[in-house]
């Protein structure tokens, strides 16, 4: 493991270390998880990335984090309800297969939007369809053709989290299921939906963490990547 | 499943899809879960529903949500402690069997009231009895005649959640048990009461989610529906 | 509470106390939960009930319990996969509305059968439909007419437990949801399905305990009871 | 803490250390928890205690453990369903106030019996009443006079565990609540009953561990000890 | 159960029902759990109780609740860190045995104080000893004589909750263990301490709910009540 | 939804309903989950599928289930440690991208093998690499080229479940993470590994249920399907 | 245990008892856990300790607590992001072996810093390395020499908590693993990382409580203490 | 990371890969976790290790595993109650500081013995002291001198798991706490003791997994290693 030094690493102050080899190694650039970082730390990380021209997403960004990024990257795109920023603002030209993102209910939209922004800025064509929960199946069935044309389908759902298993039963592409923390008491902040998705009786459901729209969008982008 | 298009669906902006066939399919109209929606989204949904004259309940409505509904439906009924609005304000004439709603303690009243408002606006005659917990059984037993005349009894209880099992042992109608998040530490936000109810040693207890007064009232209304 | 003595109670040895007023008070007779009782205790309880001609169900009965009941009630009906016995073997003539029982998968059949036996012996007409899980929606939709004619629908489902919410979205009668312990690791012996059902995004779902087919059948029988 | 040596300690092999000062310090002698010990270890511990004439209870004793104790104490009392042995077989003459032990259902009897044996051999007068669960309140109310005369009441209950809170609301003495592992899936081996008891809406409920009849009997004996 | 009417019940508005028979039935008067009640509700309940001269404790009272009580009972005693009020301010003359209350750490004091106020106003002599956790055993052992003279010892402890088991091993009186929500992450708001106490390897530990100083003080007062 | 009848369904006895449209709808044929089914039920389902020539996998098959399948399909392939059968025994010619399956430890092999069999019989080329856990990183790094050539990598890991996140950080293809129930007490039957995988700090990890090798192999096969 | 009085104890008001023997008994002086204490209590404790010249750490100190300490010890060192104060400000001269502290991500820095401050003020030489998570292994491997020279390595990690197991596999010194509450929903406030660490497949991982940087630093200082 | 090949790896069949660099890298040789491996796999791994003369421990070995090891290493030492084998049978000469292992109760002995065997075969001098739980403190205090002379103390405790925190408060060396699964219902297979230990109010407690005596012994051996 003496060869560990061949990956480019850039220190930022004494609090961060940029992994610039990620683009080459993984096919996609850096993402900066802002929660738990100070605005100042995020700003310095952003400054370094912009200086090096590295395509970057900022996730879980509060308004304070967003302002800090804008200080050094005034042209970054800020999608407030998804708590994300993208730099540069313009996504790459779409490549690979289409990604469809479903929000079971209107309240699941912020998480769904996070997936859309992520997949888009990783270079996929995406489409968002909202409010198609299983309490009224016909709303979903009306979109069957779109769903069957997708290379990956992201489904954001809270409460019972039943939508991914229904979608998976109807199509051949993988379903990326992202539970949301929407719901009454015994949803336990998304745990109920998470368990539903892990126990989907239809195979083909890939589960990510609660409210992790970024992770869902990233996984869908990888699945739908050009061969 | 090509016939999916025969259910009427109305899009609201790009964030919601009204399920107008619900009244016909399920016997009761729409309910709008406000939590996690912006005030603006709720207002636009309300506008569309009022425009179409669709009888509607708004649940988990903050004061901001309530104000938004009132902008487009100034005559809606707002029951603040139940966090609900009903439009139109006047419920349908009562039909079906009587529904009795019990609140084990005074602190359980908001959830109990949510059940009352729901059952009333779905067209049932309802009666509310408060503070009849099992720590003083005589308070409950004084209402035995009313309980035995009901077609469905909703019981809202926090802490030990023991009231539904006691009530179920005394009557022949189904008991709809709704745990509340009232209690000390190891009530775990209503989980203790929820488990008590699921384990009721008397059969005939139908459990719904924690603090879900709407769900309890809806289920009771269905049980007590006219034949 | 001095009047407590007006309910008929019959001691059996020093280990049980029959509640013969239950039929009058609750509309349905005794059920004997066998688990944790010795075969000898169950036999003595059965002897007393048969002697008094009291219509009875025996639940969670092992083969040993069943043999003990048969010693004193040779004509009792034993439904082995449901672990139940009914005495007398002949159910009452059906009254009230029809009860439909769904088993999401073949592995959920024992619990579904327990519900069928219970509802039947409490005097309802029942119908059982198996293997109609949401992974192939068309299997369910083929039975829409039957479902819509029911006064109560019991749904037994393990794994993701998504079927009750889908059924509830399609009909106006209450759905009694009974989670089963069928599933892979993170189903946690039925907890995943239980949570799904408690969080059903369609109202009208009454939840009972895991694998509690008896409770589900009893509740459905009460809901569908003659007015 | 140099004075630690003034408590009498007796080693048994290299695996146990008898705490003979316990009688003086705590008012009650040794109890030997057998689970997880080999039969040989239990036998040697018993031999030493009998040799010293120390009044002892053996808890959670399998039949193998019981046989081992009997090898060195042939006259010990073995209560099989409570998995206990007592030596000497004869309890002390009753002193202090009366202890009443309730078993909510017949299936809770082994745990209740463990409490009875414990309290009796610690020198209290005890009475056992079985099958008085809250599904038929009149069965409990018939014993109000006995309950109100007790200095401590032990209540063993599984499933919903609702009996202790009801009893506590009716009497002035403390209630020792012991949850049992009797129940359907979501009783989680007694956790549901445990939580119910911890959340009792009537004060005066002292909770001990699941299925811990020994602990319940011990605590009741202490509460009812002569002044 | 026709005799249920012989217990005196007093309605307050449509939201509460005073249980005035409690003093006679249970030996101690009413306590009003304020959490979840509005200030107005608490004031009206207090007004009615003061009007009838009923000795009362108010628990979990916010400053708003306290002000409301003071409006109708200006002479009530308010113990702010225990979130309690007592009316009348003067406790009854001490009777029964002494109650000792331990706070494992300084941070456990509010809960310990709640127990002290409760036991005092129920008529027991009480003593409070703070900061005697097991990390420095000598601090505890210095109080052995006081502990051994008590008729009941309340122990409030967070974090590892190990103090009650150590105390129980040293004395003959029952220990009332009340877990507090003090601690780092995996204390889970008091659950760790709760489990420690339920699993105390020394018998004689009576557990109550997390942070429930009132319940602990009440139970101790019952145990130490005059014979 | 009147068009639901256009999907071919074949009843088997009164206990199952074959979903023959699945191949067309989802791209892969039936799989029969054997757990909870009787041997007789599995045999009849197998008979019908073989009769219709439908390519099928049998999962969670006990030896009894396997014998039943062999009665009607003597030429089925039985992989005992994976508890699977495949019919016909010969998988389809490999198509799409390569799938690599890693077993973190030797004890994870049965689950890994289940994934291999599944992906192979769904038509992918697969390779299995065992015992490359993170406690000795060099064992993993020796396979970097193989991993980077895969279109999807399945990682089966118990205990800390740390391997998928490390693998995901090294490659661009999606990682399908399947937690196994291998481990000491606080692995909680695979829950620890499950949570590790859901919280992977490297994006691109698709999580499936504990010990669900079938689901992992199926998802990987979908991801690596021919465009 | 009559010798308990030989440990020096100093009361502070009626709310605390200083354990001045700790330095002699344990090798390290007092630490004051501020959470749950009032600012006034912390000030009085600090006053007494400073008066006696006792080296002290203050943990979990809010800004209010810090100001209170500064009133009586104006020269105390305040490390705000670690929520700690140290008095005297100057640590002892380093002795024993070197301690290395790793923060997996930038968001884990406050906990890591708490460990650094603690170990430093207990007299160890310490080094902090940030942002070396397993998603980019090369960042960690670049520090192998430093890690292998340490006598103890503290690893603070949230999310998947996978770093300690990887580090432990590379070195011979013990790893002190401290889970942080950084992460998405199913990290459950650090529980996921905690479980990962407890299940580390490499031996040599010592786990402390979530976010307990103080405990981690203390344990590392003990391990690396001079022989 | 091209240098990964410089660590010696030896494949065993297609199911294992020996990490022979571990001795050099970590200071201690291989350990083989037997659970979940077949007897045949364990035998082949043992054969290869013995062939290469590599000092090895076999953990969680059933009698079947033990027989398999003995086939190829007839002179291996088998400690049955610890479920371990050591080869060669003779441990290295003791070096480093002394390790003391405490078993709180007799039932905790198998786990304590596993720690003793591990530390001994890793080259430490060890001493085992049994049955010194906190219910009788004097039993522990009698060993204070031995405890204070240790370089590391392992404490195995089930039930309340309170012993490690008490020991840590008395000595300056680190305490390695290993929870055992001994206890009544709400010990949850060792979870209660685990949480107690993680929340120890005395710093200096290093926690390992439930029943993981091997891990505890290994960690203690590392802490007490020669400088």
Which of the listed residues G39, G64, G87 is the one where a domain comes to its end?
A: G87
* Residues E108 and E82 occupy one common structural domain: no
Q: What is the CATH number of the domain that holds G186?
A: 3.40.50.1970
Q: Give E53 or D30, the one with higher predicted confidence.
A: E53
**Are the C-beta atoms of residues G9 and G18 closer than 8 Å to each other?**
yes
* Residues G106 and G48 occupy one common structural domain: no
- Determine phi and psi for C189, rounding to 5 degrees: 60, 30
* Cβ neighbours for B26, distance < 8 A, ≥ 6 positions apart: C169, C170, C171, C172, C204
| Mean predicted lDDT score pLDDT of chain G | 93
* Residues F63 and F117 occupy one common structural domain: no
How many domains is chain F partitioned into structurally? Answer: 2
- G30-62 per-position pLDDT tens digit: 799 999 999 999 999 999 999 999 999 999 999
Identify the pLDDT of residue B6: 61
DSSP string, chain F: -GGGGGS-EEEETTTEEEETTHHHHHSS--EEE-TTS-HHHHHHHHHHHHHTT--EEEES--HHHHHHHHHH-TT-EEEGGGTEEEESSSPPPP-SS-EEEEESSGGGHHHHHHHHHHHHHTT--EEEEE---GGGHHHHHTTHHHHHH-SEEEEEE-TT--HHHHHHTT-SS-EEEEE-S-SSGGGGGGHHHHHHHHT-SSS-EEE--TT-HHHHHHHHHHHTS--
* Residues C158 and C70 occupy one common structural domain: no
| H/E segment holding residue B67 | helix B63-72
Touch E-A: 3+ C-beta pairs under 8 A: no
- H37-73 per-position pLDDT tens digit: 999 999 999 999 999 999 999 999 999 999 999 999 9
Q: Which two tokens stand for residue G222?
A: 């003990």
Residue E23: band (very low, low, confident or very high) from pLDDT cuts 50, 70, 90: confident
Shortest CA gap B135–chain E (Å):
9
Residue B1: band (very low, low, confident or very high) from pLDDT cuts 50, 70, 90: very low
The parent domain of residue E186 ranges over: 99-223
Half-sphere exposure of F162 (CA within 13 A, CB side): 36
Percentages helix, strand, coil for chain H, rounded to the nearest 5?
A: 45, 20, 35
Q: Which two tokens stand for residue C104?
A: 């999401």
| Residue of G82, G103, G107, G111 to mutate when probing chain A, most A C-beta within 10 A | G107
- Residue among C168, C147, C146, C164 at smallest CA distance from C155: C164
Q: Can you tell me whether residue B208 is helix, strand or coil? A: coil
* Residues E70 and E178 occupy one common structural domain: no
Q: Do A135 and C162 touch (CB under 8 A)?
A: no
> At which residue do the structure tokens 């999608």 appear?
A79
Residues of E with CB under 8 A from a CB of D: 1, 25-28, 31, 97, 137-138, 141, 169-174, 176, 194, 198-199, 203-209, 214-215, 218-219, 222-223, 225, 227
Residue B29: band (very low, low, confident or very high) from pLDDT cuts 50, 70, 90: confident
Q: Do G107 and A191 touch (CB under 8 A)?
A: no
Minimal Cα distance from D192: which residue of H? H186
- A84-128 per-position pLDDT tens digit: 999 999 999 999 999 999 999 999 999 999 999 999 999 999 999
* Residues G129 and G83 occupy one common structural domain: no
| Cα–Cα separations (whole angstroms), residue B210 to A179, B108, B182 | 19, 11, 10
Taking 60 as the threshold, does the pLDDT of residue F187 lie above it? yes
Taking 90 as the threshold, does the pLDDT of residue F9 lie above it? no
| Mean predicted lDDT score pLDDT of chain E | 93
* Residues A17 and A120 occupy one common structural domain: no
Shortest CA gap G6–chain D (Å):
7
Identify the pLDDT of residue D19: 83
- F98-112 per-position pLDDT tens digit: 999 999 999 999 999
Taking 70 as the threshold, does the pLDDT of residue G119 lie above it? yes
Taking 80 as the threshold, does the pLDDT of residue E1 lie above it? no
Residue A94 lies in a domain: no
Which of the listed residues E67, E87, E107 is the one where a domain comes to its end?
A: E87
CA F156 to chain centre: 11
Minimal Cα distance from F137: which residue of A? A1
- Determine phi and psi for F156, rounding to 5 degrees: -100, 125
Over residues E65-92, the mean pLDDT reads: 97
Other Cβ atoms within 10 Å of E227 Cβ, number? 9
Shortest CA gap E7–chain C (Å):
9
- Determine phi and psi for G28, rounding to 5 degrees: -135, 150
Taking 80 as the threshold, does the pLDDT of residue D9 lie above it? yes
- E199-218 per-position pLDDT tens digit: 999 999 999 999 999 999 99
Shortest CA gap B159–chain D (Å):
5
Shortest CA gap G180–chain A (Å):
11
Minimal Cα distance from G139: which residue of A? A9
User: Residue G202: its chain F contacts at CB < 8 A?
Assistant: 134-135
Identify the pLDDT of residue H5: 47
Residue C126 lies in a domain: yes
Identify the pLDDT of residue H23: 81
Which of the listed residues H34, H67, H87 is the one where a domain comes to its end?
A: H87
Taking 80 as the threshold, does the pLDDT of residue E198 lie above it? yes
Shortest CA gap D7–chain G (Å):
9
- D106-158 per-position pLDDT tens digit: 999 999 999 999 999 999 999 999 999 998 888 899 999 999 999 999 999 99
Q: Which two tokens stand for residue H43?
A: 């035998």
Poorest-pLDDT segment among B212-216, G15-19, G77-81, H200-204: G15-19
- E95-133 per-position pLDDT tens digit: 999 999 999 999 999 999 999 999 999 999 999 999 999
DSSP structural state of residue B220: H
- H13-35 per-position pLDDT tens digit: 999 998 888 888 888 877 999 99
Of B136, B166, B186, the CB nearest to D195: B186
* Residues A17 and A48 occupy one common structural domain: yes
User: Residue H132: its chain D contacts at CB < 8 A?
Assistant: 17
Residue F6: band (very low, low, confident or very high) from pLDDT cuts 50, 70, 90: low
Q: What is the pTM of this model?
A: 0.95
Poorest-pLDDT segment among C101-105, D1-5, G115-119: D1-5
Q: Do D198 and B183 touch (CB under 8 A)?
A: no
* Residues G79 and G120 occupy one common structural domain: no
Identify the pLDDT of residue G135: 87
| Mean predicted lDDT score pLDDT of chain H | 93
Chains that touch D (3 or more CB pairs under 8 A): B, C, E, G, H
Residue F93 lies in a domain: no
- E154-181 per-position pLDDT tens digit: 999 999 999 999 999 999 999 999 999 9
Shortest CA gap G115–chain F (Å):
22
Identify the pLDDT of residue C4: 45
| Cα–Cα separations (whole angstroms), residue B40 to A80, B34, B45, B58 | 15, 11, 9, 14
- F56-66 per-position pLDDT tens digit: 999 999 999 99
Taking 60 as the threshold, does the pLDDT of residue G3 lie above it? no
* Residues H203 and H118 occupy one common structural domain: yes
Minimal Cα distance from A157: which residue of C? C201
Residue G6: band (very low, low, confident or very high) from pLDDT cuts 50, 70, 90: low
Identify the pLDDT of residue C6: 61
Residue F92 lies in a domain: no
- Determine phi and psi for C3, rounding to 5 degrees: -80, 10
Poorest-pLDDT segment among A139-153, C23-37, F118-132, G173-187: C23-37
Taking 60 as the threshold, does the pLDDT of residue G90 lie above it? yes
Residue B143 lies in a domain: yes
Residue H92 lies in a domain: no
Of F35, F189, F212, the CB nearest to C107: F35
Residue F94 lies in a domain: no
* Residues B80 and B119 occupy one common structural domain: no
Query: Of E8-12, E89-93, G13-17, which has the strongest mean pLDDT?
Result: E89-93
Residue E94 lies in a domain: no
- Going residue by residue through chain A, which has 227 residues, state the pLDDT in tens, using 9 for 90 and above: 433 446 778 899 999 998 888 888 888 887 999 999 999 999 999 999 999 999 999 999 999 999 999 999 999 999 999 999 999 999 999 999 999 999 999 999 999 999 999 999 999 999 999 999 998 888 899 999 999 999 999 999 999 999 999 999 999 999 999 999 999 888 999 999 999 999 999 999 999 999 999 999 999 999 999 98
Of C4, C17, C211, the CB nearest to D184: C211
User: Residue C187: its chain F contacts at CB < 8 A?
Assistant: 209
- Residue among H203, D95, F135, F140 at smallest CA distance from G32: H203
* Residues A119 and A218 occupy one common structural domain: yes
Residues of H with CB under 8 A from a CB of G: 1, 25-28, 31, 97, 137-138, 141, 169-174, 176, 194, 198-199, 203-209, 214-215, 218-219, 222-223, 225, 227
Shortest CA gap F33–chain C (Å):
9
Identify the pLDDT of residue E6: 61
CA B81 to chain centre: 13
Touch H-C: 3+ C-beta pairs under 8 A: no
| Residue of G131, G144, G147, G161 to mutate when probing chain A, most A C-beta within 10 A | G131
């Amino acid at each position: 493991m003496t060869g560990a030094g061949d990956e480019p690493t850039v220190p930022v102050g004494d609090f961060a270390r940029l992994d610039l080899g990620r683009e080459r190694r993984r096919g996609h650039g850096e993402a900066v998880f802002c929660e738990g970082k100070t605005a100042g730390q995020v700003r310095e990380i952003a400054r370094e990335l912009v200086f090096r021209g590295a395509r970057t997403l900022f996730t879980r960004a509060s308004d304070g984090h967003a302002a800090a990024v804008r200080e050094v990257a005034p042209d970054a795109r800020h999608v407030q309800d998804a708590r994300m920023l993208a730099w540069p603002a313009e996504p790459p030209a779409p490549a690979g297969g289409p990604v469809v993102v479903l929000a079971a209910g209107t309240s699941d939209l912020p998480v769904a939007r996070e997936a859309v922004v992520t997949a888009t800025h990783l270079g996929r064509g995406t489409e968002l369809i909202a409010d198609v929960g299983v309490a009224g199946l016909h709303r979903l069935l009306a979109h069957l053709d779109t769903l069957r044309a997708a290379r990956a389908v992201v489904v954001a759902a809270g409460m019972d989290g039943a939508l991914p298993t229904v979608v998976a039963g109807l199509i051949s592409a993988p379903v990326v299921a992202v539970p949301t923390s929407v719901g009454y008491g015994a949803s336990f902040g998304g745990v109920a939906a998470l368990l539903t998705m892990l126990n989907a009786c239809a195979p083909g459901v890939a589960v990510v963490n609660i409210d992790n729209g970024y992770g869902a969008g990233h996984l869908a982008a990888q699945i739908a990547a050009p061969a």
